[in-house]
């Protein structure tokens, strides 16, 4: 039977309304219609074709990215998705998503503009934002240096105030202070928000943001004192190599005083440092914003991989043929289901968690405007923790989907190698995932230690208020179906997280130097932070597979016993059987076009084999029957063998 028939048959098995689910996935009917319209618009535009990307060299690839970005911007203007004095419309973000090629525009719109919006004064915003909104200047976010990324307080670039000229002198005092990594910096950006140590009259006031012009707006050459370039090829072939991650050094570059971003703190004409009545952590605000975006994006990347692996698993058959009948679809193997279906569930779970985090972020932003900073620590912990949890799970999930597709998953035409290569740096950028989990752990330990002082835990740590009860808890699950009750799962996750946090806090208290204790117990603290972040996911959606995966934690903390663990596993198997007939329909609900998926294995029509065969012949190696180099390198070998044979 051809693949085409397999998927039609699968779609008929669905036990729910796929069109309704498309709307659930999109968020609303309006969002669905928007995504559907923009994805088709991109798919039908030849400039946005991407099937040729894997074969392009770096220079061609980069030029191709510039072309796409320019064309995308033209469409944004034509479709009026950007106003002269306002940020982009949601359609523009969709357009970027479906074009599916990282570019300098991500950093311009995703970090440069938000940094000015969040850290610039009203005057600074009025001056810079209209230019940035019209893309008359192109900006990037230059924070990381060759020597320091995670340790922001360790940055070395200096911005020294010169009271004689009312300027800052931006300087790179060491090799390790070279800015290193900023996307869009290498070849495109005309401006950057540069993070540097503020020095006034010999005193160091720590890291602050400054708007610095890097290149001439006429001929694009670097301005005097500025050395700038690309840092070189990165992991994967096309993948993130469409981006010009850059290196930048300053040799005493002067900028006017009013180009320091001064919402959080100011430097007066007289060189006086004034700190507003706001937490200094607001300087980190852009990172919080982007971490929230990264969480929202995790479900997109994971769902793409899952869509490919699910459709292909329904098309692929191996073993089990009796009397010349059909072989078994690999999706029917229980091992395939136990690897694939939790990822399918995770993609949905991350979708809902992303929505919840957007709500939390919006709420915090509103409070900040009203000068209420009380929820900032919670927002930092949630964005950092969920960024870490979802990107780790998504990167691992994409790789698992590649394996689920067997050998063909390793072909670029499966779409999975490039998806993995482009996604995996999300575990590092915007905060290394372990470093971020340690931030969550600090927040949790602080919460536990403040319980004795009567401080009531709020937000996602509110469950800690029931600490006594959670420390007494033992699951009362008696049969497999009991694990279907959301409250039963939730309580087990709460008790596990609470016990792991309390154990860490107790062990920490044995150290006379808390910082030394924190370093020594870091691995346990990371585990406790993971348990807490998983609880956040579970409290937004139901997730039994996580319990099974981390059974060791639940049993060792005494929340459940081994028998209850086996019952969870039994229930999980029941759930896999229920998901099985709906699997293809559940991934159809993502409504991805074949252009966006970019995968022969994940084609909507399931017509995998003929298309794989056709695609192989398009490889440049097949342009000639006898390869280049035959005469120089193969023929002499063959002749050599002949001579040996004659001897
Ligand atoms: C071709 C197509 C074209 C289409 C065009 C059309 C239109 C285009 C539209 C495009 C739209 C695109 C949108 C895309 C989105 C963006 C994509 C982004 C891509 C990503 C690129 C990557 C960028 C980067 O990586 S930038 C660099 C990031 N760097 C980091 O993350 C560094 C990590 N380190 C830290 O964050 C900190 O230093 C940290 C957290 C480790 C703390 O270190 P510390 O030294 O211990 O901390 P300290 O400074 O002393 O402070 C401690 C104190 O502060 C609290 N804290 C820390 N961080 C925060 C925070 N962020 N917010 C609030 N509070 C914070 C911490 O809890 C401590 O508190 P206390 O305990 O109370 O003291
Ligand atoms: C593709 C890509 C794009 C990027 N884009 C930008 C950009 O646009 N702008 C920008 O400014 N930056 C950018 N970055 C830089 C990025 O933000 C940093 O690489 C990231 O924050 C990690 O910092 P690091 O490289 O210093 O890692 P390191 O901190 O050196 O990490 C190395 C190892 O040390 C461990 N480690 C570090 N500190 C601790 C600790 N306290 N406790 C335990 N373990 C620790 C980490 O877990 C990791 O295993 C980008 C990076 C990448 C890969």
Those residues whose C-beta lies under 8 Å from the C-beta of residue 417, and which sit 6 or more positions away, are: 236, 402, 410, 411
Among 174-188, 373-387, 507-521, 535-549, the range scoring the smallest mean pLDDT is 535-549
Among 284-288, 372-376, 389-393, 541-545, the range scoring the smallest mean pLDDT is 541-545
Cross-strand partners of 171: 158
Closest-lying ligand 2 atom to the alpha carbon of residue 140: 8
Answer whether residue 643 shows pLDDT above 70: no
Ligand 2 pocket member 240 (CB < 6 A): yes
Architecture per CATH, 137-280: Beta Barrel (2.40)
Residue 144, annotated as binding a ligand: yes
Distances (CA, A) of 635 to 24, 241, 625, 644: 61, 36, 15, 14
**Rounded CA gap, 279 and 303, in Å?**
38
Q: What is the pLDDT of residues 401-413, one digit of tens each?
A: 999 999 999 999 9
Closest by CA to 523, choosing from 596, 434, 448, 601, is: 434
CA end-to-end distance (rounded Å), the chain: 54
**Rounded CA gap, 647 and 637, in Å?**
15
- Which ligand does the CA of 284 lie closest to? 1
**Rounded CA gap, 300 and 423, in Å?**
11
The answer to whether the beta carbons of residues 55 and 241 sit under 8 Å apart is no
**Residue 602 banded pLDDT, cuts 50, 70, 90:** very high
For residues 80, 83, 86 and 87, what is the CA-based torsion angle, rounded to 10 degrees?
30
Ligand 2 pocket member 152 (CB < 6 A): no
- ipTM over 0.95? The verdict is yes
At 256, list the tokens. Answer: 């006017």
Mean pLDDT in the chain? 94
CATH code of domain 281-612: 1.20.140.10
**Residue 83 banded pLDDT, cuts 50, 70, 90:** low
Residue 385, annotated as binding a ligand: no
Closest-lying ligand 2 atom to the alpha carbon of residue 432: 22
**Rounded CA gap, 473 and 470, in Å?**
5
Tell me, what's the pLDDT at 492?
Answer: 97
The answer to whether the beta carbons of residues 97 and 277 sit under 8 Å apart is no
Question: Ligand 1 centroid vs 519 CA: distance in angstroms?
Answer: 22
Choice among 91, 156, 399, 430 that is catalytic: 430
Ligand 1 pocket member 236 (CB < 6 A): no
Ligand 1 pocket member 451 (CB < 6 A): no
At 25, list the tokens. Answer: 């996935």
Question: Could you confirm whether 430 is annotated as catalytic?
Answer: yes
Closest-lying ligand 2 atom to the alpha carbon of residue 431: 21
Ligand 2 pocket member 149 (CB < 6 A): yes
Closest by CA to 431, choosing from 390, 397, 396, is: 390
Cross-strand partners of 222: 215
Question: Ligand 1 centroid vs 111 CA: distance in angstroms?
Answer: 10
Question: Ligand 1 centroid vs 286 CA: distance in angstroms?
Answer: 6
Answer whether residue 270 shows pLDDT above 80: yes
**Rounded CA gap, 59 and 64, in Å?**
8
Question: Ligand 1 centroid vs 430 CA: distance in angstroms?
Answer: 5
**Rounded CA gap, 193 and 281, in Å?**
17
Ligand 1 pocket member 278 (CB < 6 A): no
Answer whether residue 472 shows pLDDT above 60: yes
Cα angle, residue 344 at apex, residues 339 and 350 outer, rounded to 5°: 120
Answer whether residue 641 shows pLDDT above 90: no
Domain ranges within the chain, ordered by starting residue? 137-280, 281-612
């Amino acid at each position: 039977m051809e693949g085409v028939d397999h998927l039609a048959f699968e779609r008929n098995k669905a036990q729910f309304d796929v069109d309704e689910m498309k709307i659930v996935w999109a968020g609303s009917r309006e969002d669905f219609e928007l995504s559907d319209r923009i994805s088709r618009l991109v798919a039908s535009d030849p400039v946005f074709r991407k099937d040729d990307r894997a074969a392009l060299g770096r220079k061609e690839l980069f030029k191709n990215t510039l072309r796409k970005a320019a064309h995308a911007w033209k469409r944004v203007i034509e479709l009026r998705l950007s106003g002269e004095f306002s940020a982009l419309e949601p359609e523009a973000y969709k357009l970027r998503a479906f074009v599916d090629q990282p570019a300098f525009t991500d950093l311009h719109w995703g970090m440069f503009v938000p940094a000015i919006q969040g850290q610039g004064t009203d005057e600074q915003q009025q001056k810079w934002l209209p230019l940035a909104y019209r893309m008359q200047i192109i900006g990037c976010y230059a924070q990381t240096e060759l020597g320091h990324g995670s340790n922001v307080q360790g940055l070395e670039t200096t911005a020294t105030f010169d009271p004689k000229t009312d300027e800052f002198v931006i300087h790179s005092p060491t090799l390790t202070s070279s800015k290193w990594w900023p996307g869009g910096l290498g070849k495109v950006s005309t401006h950057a928000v540069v993070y540097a140590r503020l020095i006034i009259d010999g005193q160091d006031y720590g890291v602050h943001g400054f708007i610095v012009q890097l290149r001439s707006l006429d001929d694009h050459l670097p301005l005097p004192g500025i050395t700038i370039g690309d840092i070189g090829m990165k992991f994967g072939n096309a993948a993130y190599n469409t981006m010009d991650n850059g290196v930048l050094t300053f040799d005493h570059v002067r900028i006017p005083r009013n180009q320091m971003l001064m919402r959080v703190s100011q430097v007066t004409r007289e060189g006086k440092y004034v700190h507003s009545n706001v937490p200094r952590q607001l300087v980190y605000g852009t990172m919080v914003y982007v971490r929230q975006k990264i969480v929202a994006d995790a479900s997109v990347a994971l769902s793409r991989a899952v869509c490919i692996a699910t459709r292909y698993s329904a098309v692929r058959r191996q073993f089990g043929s009796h009397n010349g009948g059909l072989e078994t679809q690999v999706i029917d193997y229980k091992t395939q289901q136990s690897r694939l279906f939790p990822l399918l569930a995770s993609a949905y779970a991350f979708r809902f968690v992303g929505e919840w985090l957007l709500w939390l972020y919006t709420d915090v932003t509103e409070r900040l405007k009203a000068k209420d900073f009380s929820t900032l620590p919670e927002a930092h912990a949630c964005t950092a923790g969920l960024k870490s949890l979802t990107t780790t799970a998504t990167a691992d999930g994409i790789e698992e989907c590649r394996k689920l597709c067997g050998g063909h998953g390793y072909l670029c035409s499966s779409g999975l190698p490039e998806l993995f290569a482009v996604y995996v740096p999300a575990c590092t950028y915007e905060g290394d995932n372990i470093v971020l989990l340690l931030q969550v752990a600090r927040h949790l330990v602080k919460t536990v230690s403040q319980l004795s002082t009567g401080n009531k835990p709020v937000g996602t740590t509110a469950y800690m208020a029931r600490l006594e009860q959670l420390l007494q808890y033992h699951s009362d699950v008696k049969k497999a179906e009991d694990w279907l009750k959301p409250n039963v799962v939730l309580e087990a996750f709460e008790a596990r997280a609470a016990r792991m946090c309390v154990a860490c806090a107790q062990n920490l208290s044995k150290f006379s130097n808390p910082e030394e204790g924190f370093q020594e117990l870091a691995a346990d603290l990371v585990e406790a932070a993971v348990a807490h972040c998983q609880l956040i996911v579970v409290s937004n959606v139901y997730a039994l597979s996580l319990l099974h995966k981390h059974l060791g934690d639940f049993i060792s903390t005494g929340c459940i016993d081994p028998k209850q663990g086996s019952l969870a596993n039994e229930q999980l198997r029941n759930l896999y059987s229920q998901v099985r007939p709906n699997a293809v329909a559940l991934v159809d609900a993502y409504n991805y076009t074949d252009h966006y998926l970019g995968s022969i294995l994940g084609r909507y029509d399931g017509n995998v084999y003929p298309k794989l065969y056709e695609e192989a012949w398009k490889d440049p190696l097949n342009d000639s029957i006898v390869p280049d180099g035959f005469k120089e390198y193969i023929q002499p070998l063959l002749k050599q063998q002949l001579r040996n044979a004659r001897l």
